[in-house]
Amino acid sequence: MEAFDLTKESDSTKQLYGGTDFARGCLMARRLMEHGVRMVQVYYASKILWDNHEDILLHRGLADDADRAVSALISDLKSRGMFDDTLGTGFGRTPSIELAPGLKVHNGRDHNPYGFTVLLADGGVRGGMTYSATDDFGYYSSVDKVHVHDLHATILHLLGLDHIRLTYRYSGRDFRLTDVSGNVVKQILA
């Protein structure tokens, strides 16, 4: 229960993260990691969800809120010598609007399995690099394509798990987290 007690944090640390629910979630993530929790997800929940599909412009305010807290978390982890063992991820959106039925605003963005953007921070990933590229429009991967299954295989590898050894047989078919495919993208490993 001590890990959940944010009153043990200094005012300067709380100020570094900010005063939002997401900021407290990032601070809580660091505290949980300090107490040995190996997998932590910080969920962005507010009146406007991070994973909204209505209006991409709503992300301006969300990004302002998230940038401070995520930056503080990374700095805090680095100062405590914990960043090297931490894998952080995030994803991007399609470059085109989403015209879904029932939406009031038609300025949304969908998830894009054909040319997605993912941020991988430390945890065994080479820093300061970009891998792969999309077409000029930003919709389809055009150079050094990475399938979602490859991304999952790489993340599992960085977590110390061999995705192939996770294969299990059910109803006459093989299954695993990478859908019995995927290769580790060795070019991004430190």
> What would the 3-class secondary structure string for the chain be?
CHHHCHHHCCHHHHHHHCCCHHHHHHHHHHHHHHCCCCCCCCCCCCCCCCCCCCEHHHHHHHHHHHHHHHHHHHHHHHHCCCHHHCCEEEECCCCCCECCCCCCCCEECCCCCCCCCEEEECCCECCCCCCCEECCCCCCEEECCCCHHHHHHHHHHHCCCCHHHHCEEECCEEECCCCCCCCCCHHHEC
pTM: 0.74
pLDDT, residue 73, reads 92
54-to-47, 91, 101, 109 alpha-carbon distances in Å: 13, 17, 11, 7
Q: Name residue 161's beta-bridge partners.
A: none
Per-residue pLDDT in tens (0 to 9) along the chain, 190 residues: 889 999 999 999 999 999 888 899 999 999 999 999 988 888 776 666 666 677 777 777 778 778 899 899 999 999 999 888 887 776 677 777 766 666 666 677 777 888 888 878 778 888 888 899 989 988 888 999 998 899 999 999 998 899 999 888 899 998 888 888 899 999 999 8
Locus of tokens 């399938």: 147
